[in-house]
Amino acid sequence: MRRNGRPADPVEVLIVDDQPEFRTVLRDLVNVTPGMTVVGEACTGEAALEAAADRAPRLVIMDIRMPGMGGVEAARRLVERHAGIVVFLVSVDRPHEDLHSLGAAAFLDKQTLSSRALRQAWDLA
């Protein structure tokens, strides 16, 4: 992606999911998505709050269901604490609540997640 004729800085992404296998899938997906790079990973909502404070990502892709603090509560806290941070929630089940009330800019279905869908969601966010 270009801005004013120059390459834009990559979107720094924090991946949060309690399943190591899915974190690997997300890492690979982000790394093949134009203009995005992974800056960290976490496996709980609590760890996501710490990682966001340390790594200052622009985008957090987070599972809704995790042990301890789930993705919904972590998303709310992230957007309260970090101005400008964008959170995408991922799951196999779409939440019934309004995404913005959950602190999220988008919902991505784990079963249909693709590089194109990720890039489109970012461009709309």
pLDDT value, residue 9: 87
Domain that holds residue 44: 10-96+108-115
Question: Does a structural domain hold residue 102?
Answer: no
What is residue 110's three-state secondary structure? coil
pLDDT per residue over 34-51, tens digit each? Answer: 999 999 999 999 999 999
Question: Does a structural domain hold residue 5?
Answer: no
Question: Does a structural domain hold residue 59?
Answer: yes
pLDDT value, residue 1: 47
Question: Does a structural domain hold residue 38?
Answer: yes
What H or E segment, with its residue span, contains residue 117? Answer: helix 115-124
Query: For position 23, which CATH number holds?
Result: 3.40.50.2300
Question: Please, are residues 17 and 62 in contact by the beta-carbon 8 Å criterion?
Answer: yes
Model confidence at 116: pLDDT above 90: yes
**What's the total number of domains in the chain?**
1
- Rg for the chain (alpha carbons), in Å? 13
pLDDT per residue over 64-110, tens digit each? Answer: 999 999 999 999 999 999 989 999 999 888 766 666 667 788 889 99
Taking residue 84's Cβ as centre, other Cβ atoms within 10 Å add up to: 7
Question: Does a structural domain hold residue 43?
Answer: yes
